[in-house]
Amino acid sequence: MILGGLAVGLGVGIPEAAFGDKKEKNHPKIRNAIRDLKDARDYLEKAPHHFGGHRAKAVKLIDQTVAELEECLAY
């Protein structure tokens, strides 16, 4: 990897595949948020109660938020 970093620093073209998927490493906080939101949605959907009538709206808003965050990652 030292040589790969050196080559990139010198402007030598190395296929991105040689370093793995670089996009997967971008924006880890957003990726973690997506994971955590999906976990929360799963918890809400499986919960035995409806959280005072807020569960359905929360699930809908989580789905919207995850979709927006995934769109952010596309850029």
pLDDT confidence tier of residue 38, bands split at 50, 70 and 90: very high
Token pair recorded at residue 31: 């990726």
Arithmetic mean of pLDDT, 59-66: 98
- Domain residue ranges in the chain: 21-73
SS in 3 state form for 5-16? HHHHHCCCCCCH
* Residue 25 confidence (pLDDT): 76
Percent of the chain exceeding pLDDT 90 equals 63
* Residue 33 confidence (pLDDT): 98
Rounded Cα gap, residues 55 and 13, in angstroms: 51
